Chains A and B, each alone.
Chain A
């Protein structure tokens, strides 16, 4: 459409004041930096999913153990090694169903999947490969001459375990000592998240202050503070944990926390120092100095808020590694001590019964994976949201 021709030549010549549209010239109503970050973060479906996942795990880990009805340490050895998904045999003489666990214990299960008891074993005919059990006065036979072992009906026929049902007594089954895996997994998640919180706190507090002071002060202070960081980061973490365990006399959560707090801030300190070094030459910091603001105020008001992007990204990247380190230390036996449940100790416990009961390893391992993935997704999303330029690069 031709705008120039639709106008009669003698129309619209009245003068208008300059800036008649001044409102349009004023800056558009914008967002603060953090509103902008949140806007970009919301666009990331994966990161949002990770965040929701973490929230769910946190709620479950805090509230869950009290709702399952089991304690993390209570053992029910008669119901050990029962998986979450039961293959059951139906015998004509009983309303209940029977589950044969990998150690040839026979467990009576109600039709709705509740575990009743372990059926008492009365004898074992090793020649015929046949076990006998006492079921309310009647005798029940288990034939293990062929794989898989099967119960015999009164006619001596093998009854295959054809009916399947979810274990409603122990939703995720029991471990080798008859402890509820669900409770222990939730407990393990709680410890993992606690480690995450500790790692984040330590990072935020010690790392930021240490790095900020070092970078802003510069000179000899910087050099000596950074040498300390170098020394700390050259000694392996396992060594710290062992030493701290020796000193404290006991292991457990405390030694992991102390070990993480003593060393885990060094990466953050380096990041913050780098940021402080580059920010302190910026003109807005110089402007604050010409005003007469002290170093503390400059750090608090100018340097830390402007370094918050890299700080958050570093923190979200360090948290999964802290979780992993806790799991790893517990796995190799120098972390959380039994009977406390950590995802790492659960994995280790599961190793002895791995062939027969792989779920005992898979469940805590899956929990570790989910937590780490969730943190990584959130971290990636945050990094992209904080630094949109990074994202645009091909």
Chain B
């Protein structure tokens, strides 16, 4: 467009493309056993911000207890009552989705935000035929379909996720399906209403590799056809590499690094990411050297460290890492990292990231969590 400035709303729209789903400074705390007893509270998510663009696939990677699933569940409002969720803003297509009534949240789930869980067996009602469960998804959100129409829609959906003989399978029960087939059904249900955002929480973790491959291909195909944005939560970097365009690396309730997928693998800029990649054996299969394991354990989230959460396991830790949480440093488009070693003032000696030019992002990491 010309530099004459925005004249009509139509022209203005694509300029600064706002992400479809935007999360700003999300905190989730699980209250301790006895209400006000803050000693037992778990600070699961401690200031997470990210955006998910239209048609984008973003991977949220982390180990168990890193807060990745809690982040996802807080977006769809499915956390238990013991969780306190606060955020500066969470918006879906520029509309805030925080503080919605349960009814409004239910309307949002399924229609605009859909979720696929890890265990397809527990997510399906074992006493109801598959077809009816998919049809239920349609009836709750889309009234006015006749029975025959609805049935046809369900059969089409099942065929779309490559379930063989969908018209016969309509009446089958979940236990008659294999794990992979059940996950296909879950995906069919999630995609039934063409949601804008699909949140997939470890969708292939419970599956065998050959089945995982089938499901990943299916998700990729559906995404290309429907343009749905996907937030993929996983611990498997291989899955991320096959499906995602951008990756968020999460640890102890914080995003430590965010990067386009090729950059994350080619030039990781956080010691934790470095360690994760080094722990994978496939790259070094024919060597006899030990794997570069990360020593130690993740921190106790009832009492998270004040500084960088990775400091106790980091080979490059500095004194300031223990006491002060670093800001995010931007290292090029869409690549940011929460590490002091990227600071321009950081000494080059023993610094794996020496020579990287980075600028501190003032906006993030302001709020110091307990």
- The answer on direct contact between A and B (beta carbons under 8 Å) is yes
Known: A13-B347, A28-B300. A21 touches B322 (CB 8 A): yes
Evaluate whether A18 and B314 lie within 8 angstroms (CB atoms) in the complex, with A9-B345, A25-B296, A25-B299 already known: yes
Q: Does A95 contact B (CB under 8 A)?
A: no
Q: How far is the CA of A43 from the CA of B37 in the complex (A)?
A: 14
Verify if B178 is at the interface (C-beta below 8 Å from A).
no
Determine whether B320 belongs to the interface, using a CB cutoff of 8 Å to chain A: yes
Q: Are B318 and A12 in contact (CB under 8 A)?
A: yes
Partner of A7, one of B312, B316, B324, B365: B324
B365→A4 contact, CB < 8 A: yes
A14: chain B residues at CB < 8 Å are 318-319
User: Counting CB contacts under 8 A, is B327 at the interface?
Assistant: yes
The yes or no answer to A248 lying at the interface (CB within 8 A) is no
Count A-B contacts at CB 8 Å: 78
Contacts of A28 in B (CB 8 A): 300
* Binary contact readout B9-44 vs A (1 if CB under 8 angstroms, 0 otherwise): 000000000000000000000000010000000000
User: A1, A3, A13: which contacts B346 (Cβ < 8 A)?
Assistant: A13
Residue in chain A with minimal CB distance to B319: A12
Chain B minimum-CB-distance residue to A26: B297
Find B296's partner among A1, A6, A10, A19 (CB 8 Å cutoff).
A19
**A residues within 8 A CB of B315?**
18
Residues of B within 8 A of A1 (CB): 368
A24 close to B (CB within 8 Å): yes
Task: Tell me which of A9, A16, A18, A43 contacts B295 (CB under 8 A).
Answer: A18
B298 (CB) vs chain A CBs: closest residue: A25
Q: Tell me if A2 and B368 are in contact (CB < 8 A).
A: yes
Whether a CB of chain A sits under 8 angstroms from the CB of B236 is no
B-contact bits for A1-42, CB 8 A (1 contact / 0 none) = 111101101111111111111101100100000000000000
Q: Are A4 and B325 in contact (CB under 8 A)?
A: yes
List B contacts of A2 (CB < 8 A). Answer: 366, 368
Contact with A along B306-317 (1 / 0, CB 8 A): 100001111111
Let me know if B156 is at the binding interface, CB within 8 A: no
For B299, the chain A residues whose CB sits under 8 A away are: 24-25
A16 and B324 within 8 A (CB): no
Say yes or no: B368 contacts A7, CB within 8 Å: no
Q: Does B290 contact A (CB under 8 A)?
A: no
Please give, as numbers and ranges, the residues of chain B lying within 8 Å of A22 by CB-CB distance. Answer: 296, 312
Q: Are B350 and A15 in contact (CB under 8 A)?
A: yes
Residues of A within 8 A of B346 (CB): 13
Task: Give chain A's interface residue range (CB within 8 Å of chain B).
Answer: 20 to 34
A13 adjacent to B295 (CB under 8 Å): no
User: Which residues of the other chain, B, contact A7 by a CB distance below 8 angstroms?
Assistant: 320, 324
The answer for the CA separation of A252 and B294 in the assembled complex, in Å, is 72
| In the bound complex, CA of A12 to CA of B347 (Å) | 11
Q: Determine chain A's interface SS by DSSP, over half rule.
A: loop
Q: Does B343 contact A (CB under 8 A)?
A: yes
**B357 interface contact, C-beta 8 A:** no
| A15 adjacent to B318 (CB under 8 Å) | yes
- Residues in A with CB closer than 8 Å to B295 are 18-19
| Alpha-carbon gap, A3 to B360, bound state (A) | 14
Residues of A within 8 A of B323 (CB): 3, 12
Complex interface: chain A residues within 8 A of B322 (CB): 16, 20-21
Q: Report yes or no: A16 in contact with B300, Cβ–Cβ below 8 A.
A: no
Q: Does B195 contact A (CB under 8 A)?
A: no
- The verdict on B268 contacting chain A, using a C-beta distance below 8 Å, is no
In the complex, chain B residues whose CB is within 8 Å of the CB of A9: 343, 345
Q: Closest residue to B311 on the A side, CB-wise?
A: A21
Q: Which residues of B contact A15 (CB under 8 A)?
A: 316-318, 350
Q: Check A24 against B368 for contact (C-beta < 8 Å).
A: no
- Tell me, rounded to whole Å, the shortest Cβ–Cβ distance linking A25 to chain B: 5
Within 8 Å by CB of A16, from B297, B319, B368, lies: B319
Which residues from chain B contact A6 at a C-beta distance below 8 Å? 324
**From A9, which residue of chain B is reached at the shortest CB distance?**
B345
User: In the complex, A288→B63 CA distance in Å?
Assistant: 31
Please report the C-alpha to C-alpha distance between residue A25 and residue B314 in the assembled complex, in whole angstroms.
13
Smallest CB–CB gap between A5 and chain B, Å?
A: 9
Determine whether B305 belongs to the interface, using a CB cutoff of 8 Å to chain A: yes
- The residues of B that contact A12 with a CB separation of less than 8 Å are 318-321, 323-324
List the B side residues contacting A25 at CB < 8 Å: 296-297, 299, 312
Q: Whole-angstrom distance from the CB of A44 to the nearest CB of chain B?
A: 13
List chain A residues, Cβ under 8 A from B366: 2, 4
Complex Cα gap A11–B295 (Å): 26
Name A20's contact: one of B317, B343, B345, B368 (CB within 8 Å): B317
Instruction: Give A10 to B322 CA distance when docked, in angstroms.
Output: 15
CB distance from B13 to the nearest CB of A (A): 35
Query: Is B326 positioned at the interface, with any CB of A under 8 Å from its CB?
Result: yes
Task: Compute how far the CA of A22 lies from the CA of B346 in the bound complex, rounded to whole angstroms.
Answer: 25
In Å, the complex CA distance between A9 and B34 comes to 42
Q: Are B305's CB and A13's CB within 8 A?
A: no
- Rounded to whole Å, the gap between the CB of A4 and the closest CB of chain B is 5
Minimal beta-carbon separation of A310 from chain B (angstroms): 23
> Which B-chain residue is minimally distant from A40 (CB atoms)?
B33
Distance of A6 Cα from B306 Cα, bound (Å)? 14
Which listed residue (A4, A13, A43) contacts B318, Cβ 8 A? Answer: A13
With A2-B366, A25-B312 known as contacts, the answer to whether A16 contacts B296 (CB < 8 A) is no
- Distance in angstroms between the alpha carbons of A13 and B342 in the assembled complex: 12
Chain A hits for B300, CB < 8 A: 24, 28
Contacts of B350 in A (CB 8 A): 15
Q: How far is the CA of A15 from the CA of B343 in the complex (A)?
A: 15
From 232 to 288 in chain A, residues with beta carbon under 8 angstroms from any chain B beta carbon are none
A23 nearest CB neighbor, chain B only: B312
A3 in contact with B324 (CB, 8 Å) = yes
Provide the bound-state CA to CA distance between A25 and B300, in Å.
Answer: 7
**Distance of B161 from chain A, by nearest CB (Å):** 34
Asked whether, in the complex, the Cβ of B345 is within 8 Å of the Cβ of A16, the reply is no
Residue in B306, B312, B325, B360 whose Cβ sees the most chain A Cβ within 10 Å: B312
Interface residues in chain B, defined as those with a beta carbon under 8 Å from any beta carbon in chain A: 34, 295-297, 299-300, 305-306, 311-327, 343, 345-347, 350, 360, 365-366, 368
Contacts A4-B324, A4-B360, A22-B296 aside, 9 further interface pairs with beta carbons under 8 A come to: A3-B324, A4-B325, A4-B365, A6-B324, A15-B318, A18-B296, A19-B312, A25-B296, A43-B34
Closest 5 CB pairs of A and B: A12-B320, A9-B345, A12-B319, A21-B312, A3-B368
Selected A-B contacts with CB under 8 Å, 24 pairs: A4-B324, A4-B325, A7-B320, A9-B343, A9-B345, A10-B345, A12-B320, A12-B323, A13-B346, A15-B316, A15-B317, A15-B350, A16-B317, A16-B322, A17-B317, A18-B295, A18-B296, A18-B312, A19-B296, A19-B312, A19-B313, A20-B311, A21-B312, A24-B312
